[in-house]
Amino acid sequence: MKHYFEDYLGSQPALDTADLDPGDAGVYEVDDDPLAVYRDDDGELHARSAVCPHKGCLVAWNDGERSWDCPCHGSRFDVGGEVLDTPAVHGLDDVSLPDGSDT
């Protein structure tokens, strides 16, 4: 199971915020953690843990709804990480981007 999880997390691209245009989002690996990163229409970056607090799957960006959706059991989160749809009852964890990532 540990190797599966490492392989799963290791499949995320490294964060390069220069690749994120306003309205873009993605899951990136930062310091061995998967982060859900979204750049809003004003250019501000928003980052949360990409690990769903329900059972630990990784969320994915839903471009149509501008939400983070969990493929495992259907939880959904807004760009601020707050719960939109259960079964998750807690939002995505707050995280900090490394210094210099806000460009």
Residues in contact with ligand FES by CB under 6 A are 52, 54-57, 70, 72-75, 87-88
CB of 37: closest distance to ligand FES in angstroms? 18
Q: Where are the alpha helices (DSSP H) in the chain?
A: 2-10
Comparing CB distances to ligand FES, the nearer of 46 and 54 is: 54
CB of 63: closest distance to ligand FES in angstroms? 19
Which residue, among 42, 51, 35, 43, has the nearest Cα to 18 in the 3D structure? 43
b (16+ CB within 10 A) / e for 22-49:
eeebbbbbbeeebbbbbbeeeeebebbb
CB of 34: closest distance to ligand FES in angstroms? 13
Comparing CB distances to ligand FES, the nearer of 45 and 57 is: 57
